[in-house]
Structure 1
Amino acid sequence: MDSLQEPRLLCLPAELRNLIYDDVAYTTKAVSLPSHGSGFKATPAPLSQVCHQLRQEFMPLLDALPLEFASSITIHNTNFCTLDLVQSLSLIPNAAPCVKRTIVVRFHLTDSLTIPGIKSFTKHFSGPYESTAPPMRYDTVFAPEAVDTPDLDMQRLVFARLAKQYRFHHSDGEQRVWEQIYWSFAEAAEKVDGVGVRQFAMGCWKSRGGGMRFV
C-alpha cells in the first residue's frame, strides 16, 4: 500500500468499522503483568499501529474489553520466584468460554540464580498446582548485568549441573517443567554468547571468557 494512501478500512462506514474492531479486539487483546503484581499493562495491538485515526478508534474498544477476554498474557518473573508467580496467577480471571488463551512466563535472570531456587520452582509447578493453573510456556531474558562473561558462565554451570540431576529421581511433572525452562534458557543464552544449544546440552562448550567447560 502506498504510504500516502488512506487505509481502505477507513473508507468503510463507521458502523462496519466498529464491527471489525469488535471482532479483532476479541482475538488480539494482550496484556502483561510486571514482577510483583504491580498491575496489568495493555500491549499495543498491531491494528492500533497503522495510523493515528485507527489508534483513536480501536484502542478505546480494546481497553474496555475485560481481562476475561485477554487471549495473550505475559507474566514477568525474576529468578524463578515461586511466590511471585503464584500471586500473579491469582490476579488473572478465568478466560471467557470463547477465548483460547496463551500465558507466557518471562523469566528475567540476574546473577543470583541458585540450584535450590530453580528446583523449588519446578517442583511447585509440577505438583497439584499444575492441574489447576492455566497452560503456560516459558521464555527467558537476561538482565543487563547478567550478560557479562562471569555471570553468564555461572548461570550456564547452574543449568548444566541441574540437567544432570534431572535425569534421575524426579517425577514426570517436574521433568516436563524443567525441560521447558532448560531449553528456554539455552536458546536465550545462545543469542548472547553464541554457545550452541546442542553443545550446551552435551555438557561441553567453549566459554566466552576462554577455555572449555565440562559438566
Structure 2
Amino acid sequence: MAACQSSPLLRLSAELRNQIYDDVASSAKAVTVLSHGDVLTAPSPLSQVCGQLRREFMPLFNATHLAYATQITIQITNFCVWELLQCLQRIPPAAPGVQRITAFKIQLSNSLTGLDVQSFTKQLSELATPPIIAATMEYMVVFDPERLDLNRQRLTFARLAKQYRFHCSDGEQRVWEKIYWSFAVAAEQVDGIGTREYAMGYWKSKDGGMRFV
C-alpha cells in the first residue's frame, strides 16, 4: 500500500491519470481469438501493480475496442480455413496509427493434410496484401509429440515445399515460407533433425534410415 501511495502516477489528478490509462489501453492490448470465436484479453502489467491501479485502469482497458489491439493471437487447429474465417470475423481493422502484429498459433494433429495447408496458405495470401501486411504476420506451430506422427507430417511439409517452389504466386510463397519454417523449427525441437538438412529434402530418421523427398 505504501508503494502505491508514494507512486508519482497516483499523485497526479484523476483527470491526468485517466488520460494516461487511455493512452496505455489503446497502445498495448494483447488478445487471443479462439477457434470457436471467444476473445480472451491478456492482463495488462499496469493492472498488476496495486489494487487502486487495477480498479481505476481495468474498466478502461476492458472497454477498449479491439481495433486498438496491438497483438492478436489466433488459435487454429490443423490450418482449418473455416476456423480461420470464424476468428477473422471477430477482429476489426486496426484503428488509424495502430501498429498490429497478428500471430497464428496452429495446433497440429494426425488428421492434417497437405490440402489443409494449401487452402490456409491461399486464403491468407489473399488477405495479406500488400506485402507489408504479410510481414506483420507470425506463425507458431505446436503439437503433442506423443500423439503426432511427426515423420508423416515432415513428409507432408517437405512435399509441399517442392510444390510451392515452382507452382505458386508471390503472395502464397511469402505466407508459405513462414508456415514452413515455423513447422521445421517446432519439429527440430522434438526430433533433432536440423532445419538445414530438412530443407535439402533428405534427412536421417530416428530408426537410422534416410528419408528422401
The Cα shift of 1:11 comes to: 4.8
* Change over 3 Å in CA distance of 1:123–1:52 after alignment to 2: same
Matches within 5 A, 1:44-63: 44-63=43-62
1:72 aligns with 2:71: yes
Matches within 5 A, 1:45-194: 45-127=44-126, 129-131=127-129, 135=134, 137-144=137-144, 147-148=145-146, 151-194=149-192
The Cα shift of 1:201 comes to: 1.2
- Kept in 1, the 8 Å contact 2:35–2:86? The answer is no
Q: TM-score, normalised by structure 1?
A: 0.83
Q: Which residue in the other structure is 2:18 paired with?
A: 18
The Cα shift of 1:5 comes to: 7.1
- Kept in 2, the 8 Å contact 1:149–1:209? The answer is no
Structure 2 gaps of 5+ residues are none
Higher mean Cα deviation, 185-194 or 12-21?
A: 12-21
Higher mean Cα deviation, 68-77 or 4-13?
A: 4-13
The share of aligned pairs that are identical, in percent, is 54
* Change over 3 Å in CA distance of 1:150–1:76 after alignment to 2: closer
* Change over 3 Å in CA distance of 1:17–1:47 after alignment to 2: same
The Cα shift of 1:78 comes to: 0.8
CA distance in 2, matches of 1:110, 1:199: 24
Secondary structure, aligned partner of 1:76: strand
Secondary structure, aligned partner of 1:148: coil
The code of the aligned residue for 1:188 comes to A
Q: TM-score, normalised by structure 2?
A: 0.84
- Kept in 2, the 8 Å contact 1:29–1:69? The answer is yes
CA distance in 2, matches of 1:11, 1:82: 47
- Kept in 2, the 8 Å contact 1:79–1:109? The answer is yes
1:198 aligns with 2:209: no
Structure 1 gaps of 5+ residues are none
The Cα shift of 1:172 comes to: 1.5
* Change over 3 Å in CA distance of 1:124–1:65 after alignment to 2: closer
* Change over 3 Å in CA distance of 1:208–1:149 after alignment to 2: farther
1:35 aligns with 2:32: no
Higher mean Cα deviation, 134-143 or 90-99?
A: 134-143
- Per-residue CA deviations over 1:115-174 (Å, capped at 9, x if unaligned) read 1221122223324x4449x64523223233xx1386111111111111111111222122
Paired residue total = 207
CA distance in 2, matches of 1:88, 1:11: 38
- Kept in 2, the 8 Å contact 1:34–1:76? The answer is yes
- Kept in 1, the 8 Å contact 2:110–2:148? The answer is no
